[in-house]
Structure 1
Amino acid sequence: MFFSIIIPLYNRPQEIDELLTTLTRQTYTQFEVLVIEDGSVNDAKAIVDKYANSLDVKYFFKPNEGQGFSRNYGFERAKGDFFVIFDSDCLIPEDYLEIVKDYLFEHKLDAYGGPDAAHQSFTPVQKAISYAMTSPFTTGGIRGNKKHIGQFHPRSFNMGVSREVWEKVGGFILTRLGEDIEYSIRIHEHGFKIGLIPAARVFHKRRTSFSQFYKQLHFFGRARINIYKHFPSELKLVHFFPAAFTCAVIFTVLINIFYWPLAFICNFVMLIYFMLIFFHSWQVNKSLKVAFLSIIAAFIQLTAYGLGFMQDFIKRVVFKQQ
C-alpha cells in the first residue's frame, strides 16, 4: 500500500518543520508527502526543501481558499492508494503508517480516523487543552472514543480516505466550518466503510494559548450548526451540552447577584464538576499544574463552543438567516 500524506499549510513554517521531521522516522516508508501552501504570506518552501533528500516531498503554492479546498488540491495531485490528511500542528509517531497499513488490510476500511493525544514536549497549557478536547467529562470524549455516539466521523487532523472514495465521492465541498464531518457523512451515504483506528494516534498541539483556543472552539460551535443545515439528523442531544453548560454558568452568576440563598446549590454543583475534571486530569497527566489548567481549558471549551453554537442557532435556525 502506498500512502499520500496531504498537509494544508497557512503561515505556519515552524509547525511543518516539526511535522516533517517526525515523518522521516516512519518505520513504513512507502509514502509521499504533499505540502499545500494555502496563500501564506510567511511561506515554508525553504523549510520543505530541506527534506528533499530524506522524504518524497512535494511543495505546492496556491491562492488562499481554506483547508478543505487545499486538501482537494492535494487529492488531485496524489498518486497513493490511500490519502492521509494531517493538520500542520501534529507530530506523528514513528509507527503510525505501520499501524494504519496493518489495520486497513485486516479490516478493509475505505476511510478512517484516529485519536489525538498530548506529547511530553507540549507546554502545560497545550496539555490542558488536549485533556479538555479528549476528556470524558467534556464533549471532547466522543471524538476519538471506541464508544462514539452514532456514526463515526473522522476529523481532519488525523484522517484517511482511499483513492476509490476520492474517485466516487469527490473531495470537500466546504472549505471550513465542519468540512470534515460533512465529508464523512457523504462517504457514509455512498456506502463506504469508515472506522476508528484506536492505535493510530497523533500528537496534536492544537492552540498554544487560551485566547487562541477560545477562538477555535467558538468556530467549532458555529460549525455544528453549519453541519445541521446540510444534515439535520446529525444534530444530537450531546451537541447541546456546551450551550446548556453556558446557560448554567450565566444563571449561576445571576443567582449569586440577585438571589444568593439559591446560589449555594448552583455553586456546589459547579464545584463538584470542576473537581472531577481536576482529579481526573491529575491522574492522566501526573501534574498538579496541568490539572489546574485543565479546569480553565474545559471551561473555555464548553463556553466558547456553547456561545458559537447559540449564536448561529439563533441566526440561522431561529431567524433563518444565511
Structure 2
Amino acid sequence: MDTPSVFLSVVIPTYNRPQRLALCLKALAELDYPCDRYEVVIVDDGSPMDLEPVVAPFRDQMTLSLIKQANAGPAKARNVGAYHAKGPFLVFTDDDCMPAVGWLTAFAQQLMLTPKAFLGGHTINALPQNLFSTASQELIDYLYQYYNEQRQKPQFFASNNIAVAKELFLALGGFDPSFPNAAGEDRELCDRWLQAGYLMKFVPTAQIQHAHHLSLRSFWKQHFYYGRGAFYFHQVRAKRQAAPIRVEPLNFYSDLLTFPLQRSCAYPWYSISILLLLSQVAVVVGFFWEQLAQRSKGSLAMANEAGLSG
C-alpha cells in the first residue's frame, strides 16, 4: 500500500522528564512519514523546568508546538493537546516512548481503511535488562491477550500507543481527567468507546519502544495506582451502565501467573510470575484503599451537610 497522505497530530503529555522527551522527539524525527503530513503537540503538565531548550532543536525537523498547563495529570494534558491539534486524526504516545520508523505510516494506512476505529499499536519493552520493567510489560502483554486476542473484538488499548479520529474523541469527551492518578483512564475511554458502538482494532505494525525505568518501590507504586484507578473505573462504569461493580474472574489471575511460561524472556519464568503476583497484591491494596478513601469522603460530606442543616 502506498504511503497515506492523511494529516496526523501526535499528542505527547510530559512531566519532568526532559531526557526521555528528547529521545522521543529524536525517534519522531526519524519517522518515514512525510514531515509535512504530521505535527507534534507536546503538553507540559507543569514541569518545574523550561522544556523549550529540549524542544527547540527539533523545530526545524517537524511541525511542533509546546503547550504548558498547571499540573493536572496526563489525562487532562492529552485532552488539551487534542483540543489544540490541527489534524483530523490524533495519535497519542508518552514521553518515555520511542516510536519505530514506520509507526505513523502503519496507523495512517489503517485509518484510511477504518477512519472511525479506535486503533491500538504494539508496545515493546525498551529495557529488557530491567526485571521490573520486563514484568510490567509482561502484564501489559497479558492484558492485550486477555482483552483483545481471546475475544472477538478488542476491548483495551493503553494510552501510550493509540490513534483515533479527533471528532469522535472530542464528541465522547476525551479522557476522564478526574481519575486520581495516571492509571485507568485509558481503560475507561476504551469502555466508553465500545458502549457508544464504535470499533476498536489492533495494529501490530504500529510499534513503539517503551523505556519505563522501574525499581521494586516504583513497581509497587505503579500497580498500587493501577488498583486505585481500577476501583474508580469500575465505579464510573457501574454508574454509566446502571449495574453493580464487577471484577475479573479467578481464572484471570491464575492465567496471569502462568503466562510467563509461554514466553521467551531473559529472566526465569518464576521471577516474572512472582512480580506479577506482587503487582496484583498492589492492585488489590490500591483498589480497597481507594474504596475506603471514597467512603471516608462520602461520610465526611454527609457529616458536613448534617452539621449545616442542624
Secondary structure of 2:206's counterpart equals coil
What residue identity is the alignment partner of 1:300? L
Q: Normalization by structure 2: what TM-score? A: 0.79
Q: CA deviation at 1:88?
A: 1.4
Q: 1:77 to 1:44 in 2, by over 3 A?
A: same
Question: Is the counterpart of residue 6 in structure 1 residue 6 in structure 2?
Answer: no
Query: 1:147 corresponds to which residue?
Result: 150
| Counterpart-to-counterpart distance in 2, 1:241 and 1:234 | 20
Query: 1:112 corresponds to which residue?
Result: 119
Query: 1:55 corresponds to which residue?
Result: 62
Query: 1:202 corresponds to which residue?
Result: 208
Q: Normalization by structure 1: what TM-score? A: 0.77
Q: Deviations over 1:292-316 (max 9, x none)?
A: 6424431322211122123334555
Q: 1:175 to 1:90 in 2, by over 3 A?
A: farther
Q: CA deviation at 1:116?
A: 1.7
| Counterpart-to-counterpart distance in 2, 1:183 and 1:279 | 31
| Counterpart-to-counterpart distance in 2, 1:63 and 1:194 | 32
Query: 2:290 corresponds to which residue?
Result: 312
Q: 1:17 aligns with which of 17, 22, 25?
A: 22
| Counterpart-to-counterpart distance in 1, 2:273 and 2:185 | 29
What residue identity is the alignment partner of 2:15? Y
Secondary structure of 1:50's counterpart equals helix
Provide structure 2 residue ranges, at least 5 long, that are not aligned to the other structure.
1-5, 302-310
Mapping 1:205-220, distance limit 5 Å: 205-220=211-226
Provide structure 1 residue ranges, at least 5 long, that are not aligned to the other structure.
246-272
| Counterpart-to-counterpart distance in 1, 2:268 and 2:50 | 33
| Counterpart-to-counterpart distance in 2, 1:148 and 1:213 | 29
Secondary structure of 1:79's counterpart equals coil
Q: Deviations over 1:1-34 (max 9, x none)?
A: 1110001111111111111111111111221101
Contact 1:32/1:57, CA 8 A, preserved across alignment: yes
Question: Is the counterpart of residue 191 in structure 1 residue 169 in structure 2?
Answer: no
| Counterpart-to-counterpart distance in 1, 2:225 and 2:295 | 17
Secondary structure of 1:222's counterpart equals helix
| Counterpart-to-counterpart distance in 2, 1:304 and 1:51 | 39
Q: 2:168 aligns with which of 165, 170, 191?
A: 165
Contact 1:165/1:187, CA 8 A, preserved across alignment: no
Q: CA deviation at 1:61?
A: 1.3
Query: 2:279 corresponds to which residue?
Result: 301
What residue identity is the alignment partner of 1:153? F
Contact 1:128/1:291, CA 8 A, preserved across alignment: no
Query: 2:80 corresponds to which residue?
Result: 73
Q: 1:293 to 1:234 in 2, by over 3 A?
A: farther
- Using the TM superposition, name which of 39-48 and 114-123 deviates more: 114-123
State, as a whole percentage, how many aligned pairs show the same letter.
22
What residue identity is the alignment partner of 1:26? L
Q: CA deviation at 1:160?
A: 1.8
